Amino acid sequence: MITVKAPGKLYIAGEYAVVEHGFPAIIVALNQFVTATISPSDTFGSIVSEQYQENSIFWRRQGDAMVFDNRDNPFHYILAAISLTENYAHEAGRNLGVYHLGINSDLDSADGKKYGLGSSAAVTVATVKALCQFYELPMDKPKLFKLAAIAHLSVQGNGSLGDIAASVYGGWIAYHSFDRDWLNRQREKSTLTELLGMDWPDLKIDLLTPPRDLRLMIGWTGSPASTSHLVDKVALVKAKQRGEYQTFLQDSKACLKRMIAGFQAGDLATIQTELRQNRALLQTLGEFSHVTIETPILEKMIAIAEAAGAAAKTSGAGGGDCGIVLIDRSINPQQLLKDWASEGIERLNLNVHTVADNPVA
């Protein structure tokens, strides 16, 4: 039996801007995984997942048609990952087989609570990884990223794919998103094998080393948010508020550049300053796009962390899910945790997944 795992993630900074190609974000992989297992079968195949099933669907009416929105259902990412990896295996001359695929996740809690730790990306990466082993396809991190990114894009369509990069590379990364229009055009004229061998315009993934005194803390709001719907909403203002949107993009890029330099210099104070700056930029984006990124509970979470001497902001698309705190290890977080608890904010006691734990094969 083949068993592989892929970690979940949290965005640290650069959200929304990173959806535009060439713009950066900082993302961290967490020690919380989706596990995929495959065993060959002689008769029928199966896909079994306790957490991810096709048990309810969302749709809109478009004239006479029912249009399904599968973007928030990890089960569809499993199907897309299978389809893409089997195409790739076929191109490599493999005979396609029959198998039982099992998917287990600890990214959502046992009672079905959704934390927003990137289950759709991790499930995609884990499925692609498992099938590449099953079909004995040589893989490295850049190829795994590309194959999983194409699969994820075929379902969600509007993301930066930074969560896929975090799940493939592990640790802390600086991610610059690739040009998805280029990829869509290229897909029509190239095989997957060719695509995986190409340089993708603007794509850049660099590993970052956090300073020793940096402690990452995660607060959970208790309410789930839909990244794909929030990104849709922000995309709507792009044309209408061009000037403000372009300013946001440029400011975010400059902020992230300084924050990345802070990581390279091992300077926690700079990283914290830029984290606060990135929060302010996202607040401005939230205001002019009329999208609630920082909900009242996230605002409270951040205020409590700031009062303890830490820097904090929303993580990812916001609207619920988690907030992140970067705090000096020498600060005792007891009071912060007590204040969070009294506001109903739960600390997720998760560690960073290190690169060394994340071999591809």
Which window, 43-51, 113-121, 123-131, 166-174, contacts Mg ion (CB under 5 A)?
113-121
Q: Choose between 19 and 312: whose C-beta lies nearer to ligand PMV.
A: 19
**Binding at 107: pick from ligand PMV, Mg ion, none (beta carbon under 5-8 Å per type):** none
DSSP 212: T
Q: Choose between 90 and 257: whose C-beta lies nearer to ligand PMV.
A: 257
**Do 318 and 225 meet the contact criterion of CB atoms below 8 Å apart?**
yes
Residue 125 Cβ vs ligand PMV, minimum distance, rounded to whole Å: 14
Report how far residue 254's alpha carbon sits from residue 262's, in angstroms, rounded to the nearest whole number: 13
Return residues touching ligand PMV (CB under 6 A): 11, 15-16, 18-19, 116, 118, 159-160, 162-163, 227, 231, 315-317, 321
Burial (Cβ within 10 Å: 0-12, 13-18, ≥19) of residue 273: middle
Tokens of 51: 């957490």
Report how far residue 288's alpha carbon sits from residue 93's, in angstroms, rounded to the nearest whole number: 52
Nearest to 263 by CA among 13, 59, 41: 13
**Do 339 and 150 meet the contact criterion of CB atoms below 8 Å apart?**
no
Footprint of Mg ion on residues 186-225 (CB under 5 A)? 225
Q: Should residue 108 be labelled a site residue for Mg ion when binding is judged by CB under 5 A?
A: no
**Binding at 52: pick from ligand PMV, Mg ion, none (beta carbon under 5-8 Å per type):** none
Q: Which residue is nearest to ligand PMV (CB)?
A: 316
Q: Choose between 160 and 272: whose C-beta lies nearer to ligand PMV.
A: 160
Tokens of 130: 């498992």
**Do 297 and 223 meet the contact criterion of CB atoms below 8 Å apart?**
yes
Tokens of 154: 């075929």
Query: Residues 302-331 vs Mg ion: string with x where CB under 5 A?
Result: --------------xx---x----------
Residue 288 Cβ vs ligand PMV, minimum distance, rounded to whole Å: 16
Residue 225 Cβ vs Mg ion, minimum distance, rounded to whole Å: 5
**Binding at 145: pick from Mg ion, ligand PMV, none (beta carbon under 5-8 Å per type):** none
Number of residues that bind Mg ion (CB under 5 A): 6
Residue 219 Cβ vs Mg ion, minimum distance, rounded to whole Å: 13
Distances (CA, A) of 28 to 5, 32, 87, 126, 265: 16, 12, 30, 17, 18
Q: Should residue 116 be labelled a site residue for Mg ion when binding is judged by CB under 5 A?
A: yes
**Binding at 231: pick from ligand PMV, Mg ion, none (beta carbon under 5-8 Å per type):** ligand PMV
**Do 34 and 4 meet the contact criterion of CB atoms below 8 Å apart?**
no
**Binding at 15: pick from Mg ion, ligand PMV, none (beta carbon under 5-8 Å per type):** ligand PMV
Tokens of 89: 């295996």
Torsion of CA 237, 243, 244, 247, to 10 degrees: 130
**Binding at 18: pick from ligand PMV, Mg ion, none (beta carbon under 5-8 Å per type):** ligand PMV
Residue 309: count other Cβ atoms within 10 Å of its Cβ.
13
Distances (CA, A) of 77 to 29, 235, 268, 348, 358: 19, 23, 37, 25, 21
Q: Should residue 163 be labelled a site residue for Mg ion when binding is judged by CB under 5 A?
A: no
Residue 52 Cβ vs Mg ion, minimum distance, rounded to whole Å: 17
**Binding at 217: pick from ligand PMV, Mg ion, none (beta carbon under 5-8 Å per type):** none
Binding site for Mg ion (CB under 5 A): 116, 225, 227, 316-317, 321
